[in-house]
Amino acid sequence: MAQLAAQRAYIPKAEGSTPSRSTKRLELAWAAGFFDGEGYIGCMCSAPSKRGHTTQIAIPQAHPQVLERFVAAVGVGKVFGPYRARKKNWSTRWQVRIYGKDARAAIASLLPYLSDVKQRQAKRAVSCGTEA
Ligand SMILES: [Zn+2]
């Protein structure tokens, strides 16, 4: 056993098999910048359906690949679509939507990299309904 452990120490780690910690951080920073510009964050209670306090993240996008990268970076969520354009000059849309516990997990990962404005929106969305 000891010999095996010693041998293992000399085997170089395969590059790119699992993302390194710094790669993950880089991807999160990218995701936060992308979300800052393109994403929506809020609480479902402000939706017309009045569905109570559920944190919601949504990002509409013309290219699903960008959204797949976002989902991989934050580790939660799903890409929905394609949605047909409702007007002739609109492009087909894809959308990432994340709700509730998953949305709060994504926010927690992104928060340090978000702009002040988005951070305030995020904190308001997460704490919505919890204030007395
Ligand atoms: Zn609410």
| Ligand 1 geometric centre to CA of 128 (Å) | 4
Q: Which domains does the chain have, with CATH numbers?
A: 21-127 (3.10.28.10)
| Ligand 1 geometric centre to CA of 18 (Å) | 37
Task: Supply the pLDDT for residue 15.
Answer: 57
**pLDDT tens by residue, 70-126:** 999 999 999 999 998 777 777 789 999 999 999 999 999 999 999 999 999 999 999
Task: Supply the pLDDT for residue 84.
Answer: 85
Pull the structure tokens for residue 54: 């559920």
| Ligand 1 geometric centre to CA of 46 (Å) | 7
Please give the full DSSP string across 48-101, using - where no structure is assigned.
Answer: TT---S-EEEEEEES-HHHHHHHHHHHS--EEEEEEPPSSTTSPPEEEEEEEHH
The more confidently predicted of residues 18 and 9 is 18
Average pLDDT score over the chain: 87
CB 40 within 8 Å of CB 61: no
Give the list of residues 6+ apart from residue 45 with CB closer than 8 angstroms, or none.
Answer: 51, 52, 53, 54, 128, 129
